[in-house]
């Protein structure tokens, strides 16, 4: 049996009673960093043996741990903070255990994603977790451009040293007026949440750098801006198709097929955009 155990993301009191019991009962605890987890275990008088399981030894550790699980041992998987496999090691072991018909059980607890969403003051009915975006400027901007019209609230992890640059890139991709929140050091002594537009947040953290662990929550694109974006893309697609030799009706039919819109609706929008008259 493999237990995927969430651990505190800052405040040690956030370890659940069930997690304490499981960590005390299993044969071994697979830790992202045994030295880091040792402090948590010692604070709770847990003497269960531990071994390292992190990104660079996963390939070697997974067969070993699965063999022990198949032999009947109970193993707990923890990371340095929060829930294993969420922007942390764990996915490969979970998948291998399931493929080996080992029972995998969640022991839920602290999650920076959910904690930040709950206090950001930004809609939570639908959201997407994007984890850490690329650190290189070009790759980061490309990743954000792909999310420009995402209607759901977006949640990102970021390192404090890159926060201002990332907020600047977000302002470029999403617009400076997009609502957002930056949650710093969540559940820790100096926790704070700063809300504002992306432009305001970028200027603030450019002059006053943040420290510690960072979660960025960004409002999704409004339906209005989505509609404007679709119209712009349709206009651009229409120009490309016309330059390729298609007539207005043919080009409209292609766009309707690709977008799922009605052919007549697209044709009327194309007429309006091109300034041509309906020849029907």
Give me the chain's average pLDDT, please: 90
- CB burial class (10 A; 0-12, 13-18, 19+) of residue 75? buried
Number of C-beta neighbours around residue 144 at 10 A = 23
- What mean pLDDT comes out for the span 100-121? 97
Alpha-carbon distance of 21 to 11, in angstroms, equals 18
Q: Read off the pLDDT of residues 176-220 as tens digits, 9 standing for 90 and up.
A: 899 999 999 999 999 999 999 999 999 999 999 998 999 999 999
pTM comes to 0.77
Residue 114 has pLDDT above 70, yes or no: yes
For strands 104-107 and 2-5, give the pairing.
parallel
The side-by-side arrangement of strands in the sheet containing 213-218 is 127-132, 153-159, 213-218, 179-184, 192-197
- What mean pLDDT comes out for the span 132-159? 93
Kindly state the DSSP code that residue 91 receives in the 8-state scheme.
Answer: H
Tokens in use for 114? 């959910």
Q: Read off the pLDDT of residues 34-43 as tens digits, 9 standing for 90 and up.
A: 999 999 999 9
Query: At 232, is the pLDDT very low, low, confident or very high (cuts 50, 70, 90)?
Result: very low
Terminal Cα-to-Cα distance of the chain (whole angstroms): 70
- With tokens 């292609």, the residue in question is 254
- What mean pLDDT comes out for the span 229-237? 60
């Amino acid at each position: 049996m493999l237990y995927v155990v969430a651990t505190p993301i800052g405040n040690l009191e956030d370890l659940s009673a069930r997690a304490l019991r499981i960590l005390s009962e299993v044969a071994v605890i697979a830790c992202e960093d045994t030295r880091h987890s040792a402090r948590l275990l010692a604070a709770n008088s847990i003497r269960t043996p531990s071994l390292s399981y992190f990104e660079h030894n996963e390939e070697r550790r997974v067969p070993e741990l699965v063999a022990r699980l198949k032999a009947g041992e109970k193993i707990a998987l923890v990371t340095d903070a929060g829930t294993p496999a969420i922007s942390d090691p764990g996915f490969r072991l979970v998948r291998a255990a399931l493929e080996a018909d080992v029972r995998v059980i969640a022991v839920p607890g602290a999650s920076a994603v959910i904690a930040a969403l709950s206090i950001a003051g930004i809609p939570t009915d639908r959201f997407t977790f994007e984890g850490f975006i690329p650190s290189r400027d070009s790759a980061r901007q490309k990743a954000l451009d792909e999310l420009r019209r995402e209607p759901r609230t977006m949640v990102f992890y970021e390192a404090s040293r890159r926060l201002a640059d990332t907020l600047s890139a977000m302002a470029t991709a999403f617009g400076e007026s997009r609502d957002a929140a930056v949650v710093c050091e969540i559940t820790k002594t100096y926790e704070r949440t700063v809300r504002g537009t992306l432009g305001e947040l970028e200027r603030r953290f450019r002059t006053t750098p943040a420290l510690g662990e960072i979660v960025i929550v960004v409002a999704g694109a409004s339906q209005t801006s989505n509609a404007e974006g679709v119209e712009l893309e349709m206009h651009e697609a229409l120009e490309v198709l016309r330059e390729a030799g298609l007539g207005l009706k043919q080009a409209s039919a292609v766009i309707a097929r690709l977008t799922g819109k009605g052919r007549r609706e697209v044709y009327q929008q194309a007429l309006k955009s091109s300034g041509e008259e309906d020849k029907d």
